[in-house]
Amino acid sequence: MSARQNAPKLLVVEDDPGLRKQLKWSFEGFEVVTAEDREGAVAAVRRHEPAVVTLDLGLPPDPGGVSEGMKAIGEILRIAPHTKIIVITGNDARDAAVRAVAEGAYDFYQKPVEVETLRLTVERALRLHELELENVRLQRQARPALEGIVAASPQMTKVCRLIEKVAPTSATVLLLGESGTGKEILARALHELSGREGRLVAINCAAIPETLLESELFGYEKGAFTGATRSTPGKIECADGGTLFLDEVGDLPLALQAKLLRFLQERTVERLGSRREIPVDVRVVCATNQPLEDLIAEGRFREDLYYRINEIEVRIPPLRERAGDAVLLARAFIERHGREAGRRVTGLTPEAAAAIDAWHWPGNVRELENRIRRAVILAEHTRLTPEDLELPVPDEESAPLNLRRIREEAERKAVLHALARAEGRVQRAAELLGITRPTLYALMARLGIQPPRGGNGEPQEAAEAAHAAGRE
């Protein structure tokens, strides 16, 4: 009974009683449930959550057409997007079967039914279903716990852990990274984790004319200049008790750099047209995509200000250096923008995932999100293709399309991420992955991952044991 309950579930949707009975008893190793029409199929999917569905397109009340079968595909995938649907159709309905695949069906099979051949197709669909669920599990396990951040690469995991450590302090943080890498999202995460009761106030130093930037930052008194009809606090005052985020700080004019330095030293501001010093309690986070050391050498950025804003430096890697993160982000963007646009886009084709992995992403995360948003709106099918994303299809050699290579890549990313989160401690990494330490060592050996080394060159576990013995 227990083995039967653990067997994968197959739903057979067929209006012919004889064929339905034949298929029910032809799939040893499966728990087979049946339905004879669209309503029954949808109810069975809700109740049993089958991994695979075989679906006759000609269902009552339209057994001679395909309308009921097509509706069933859409309803099933809305309930269970990872379910693999194998369409069964007559020889004269090949075009309808191809259209069904375009609507999200996994594959099609033409009558007359040869059970052994159909079984191979079902087993292949089951393996893909299991792989997709495993990938989802690994992605959820690997995702850093920072609001708004979707990542699994060791590089971004390190950044997230640094943000978590720095957030509760009052240290000024400098975020360095190319345009589009997510500096503002990290600044927002840093503020959320800081525990400060005030709000995050952001200002883009490159987007405001120099003549207005000083009054935007420091505020002004009534009559300070033409048009100043009332006293107005600046962004720094508005961030009192919270966080001030200065984006593109490298574009700050030299005159304002001196005034910002004084604020950072004194923690008081003077509005334009006033000599009154106003104390402000604010955490400052700065960001830039420019090399500030070069600007200092050119005389365009004050060295003393650089050291004042750079108490903690966080370098954000470009997307091309974050192995596996592009596909993770793409799936998150598909879910978000599909929901916003009311489009039923369920994911990526294998070719699209390979194209995303292979692209160099000069515009980083911002470019990826823009491509996904456009593709979700314009796509004709339920899964995005490289053509939808306007990306070149990578060479076949670089696209890991077989199940073994995909599984190995998913395992490699999960193991590397677990080791990064566990700071090299194999026992802790094994606990994070839900496996034993010997199993993890065997997995690392198979994947060619070297055990982490301690400071003296010993394996990390041996180093930890020696350190513990020394304390005793």
Kindly report, residue by residue over 201-260, the tens digit of the pLDDT: 999 999 999 889 999 999 999 888 888 888 899 999 999 999 999 999 999 999 999 999
Name the β-bridge partners of 41: none
Q: Name the burial class of residue 95, with classes exposed (0-12), middle (13-18) and buried (19+) by CB atoms within 10 angstroms of its CB.
A: exposed
340-376 confidence digits (pLDDT tens): 988 888 888 888 888 998 899 999 999 999 999 999 9
- Nearest Cα residue to 280 out of 341, 212, 213, 233: 233
Looking at the chain, the domain(s) classified CATH 1.10.10 span: 403-471
* 138 pLDDT tier (thresholds 50, 70, 90): low
* 467 pLDDT tier (thresholds 50, 70, 90): very low
Looking at the chain, the domain(s) classified CATH 3.40.50.300 span: 154-317
Least confident range from 140-154, 194-208, 415-429: namely 140-154
The mean per-residue pLDDT over the stretch 284-309 comes to 95
pLDDT of 453: 53
Fold of 2-141: Rossmann fold (3.40.50)
Which of the given ranges, 56-65, 263-272, 402-411, has the highest pLDDT on average?
263-272
Looking at the chain, the domain(s) classified CATH 3.40.50.2300 span: 2-141
Please say whether the structural domain 403-471 has been given the CATH code 1.10.10.
yes
Copy the structure tokens of residue 233: 């606090």
Least confident range from 46-55, 108-117, 406-415: namely 406-415
Asked if residue 463 has pLDDT above 60, the reply is: no
pLDDT of 139: 59
CATH annotation of 154-317: 3.40.50.300
Whole-angstrom Cα distance, residue 368 to residue 325?
11
* Cβ neighbours, 10 Å, residue 401: 11
pLDDT of 3: 44
- Nearest Cα residue to 333 out of 375, 302, 301: 375
Handedness of CA 215, 217, 221, 227 (dihedral sign): positive
Asked if residue 21 has pLDDT above 70, the reply is: yes
* 95 pLDDT tier (thresholds 50, 70, 90): confident
CATH class, range 321-390: mainly alpha
Least confident range from 82-86, 142-146, 151-155, 195-199: namely 142-146
Q: What percentage of residues in the chain have a pLDDT greater than 70?
A: 89
The mean per-residue pLDDT over the stretch 405-418 comes to 78
Looking at the chain, the domain(s) classified CATH 1.10.8.60 span: 321-390
